[in-house]
Amino acid sequence: MNITTETFFRPEEVAREHINLPAQLFNRCVLLLNHSPIRNVFIPVRSMQYQAVIDNDEIIFVDNQGYAVQDGKGGRLIILAWQVPMRSSRDSLSEPVPIDVVYYIREDHETHRRLIGEFPKAMDLYKQRLKENNNPEKTAAILPFKPS
């Protein structure tokens, strides 16, 4: 198995809000993570030029156009994150999941609203491509970022 590591920088938080993630969307994320042979799932959200990365504690969204270098390491900046433990317990699989939406660049409710609609479509394409070919796996390294 060929494993690539990508680096992401986490800027300082600018805003946070509590919402409920639809159960169907959360369940799909958990299934993808459970079927992954590694600890991350990378899903391109091409319609927005973003990349989503699912791990055990959160789903981060990264702008594919934004690149930063700090301490000799280069990587993409996290725009926002859905902080939710993928192992959270619920009474029902149809129950919405409370999460924190954390904004890192600016508080952008429009981007978040679009992600709710585009992310499931991106997951459909991801699953289709997995069936079609055997893609190399990736892992993520998330580092704090302090702009100079």
Report pLDDT for 135.
Answer: 54
Report pLDDT for 138.
Answer: 60
| Alpha-carbon span 59 to 80, nearest angstrom | 9
Report pLDDT for 131.
Answer: 73
Positions in the chain whose pLDDT score sits under 70: 1-3, 88, 133-141, 148
| Alpha-carbon span 135 to 50, nearest angstrom | 19
Structure-derived torsion over alpha carbons of residues 12, 17, 20, 21, reported in degrees to the nearest 10: -30
pTM of this prediction? 0.83
Which range of residues forms the domain containing residue 11?
3-144
Neighbouring C-beta atoms of residue 104, cutoff 10 Å: 20
The total domain count for the chain is: 1
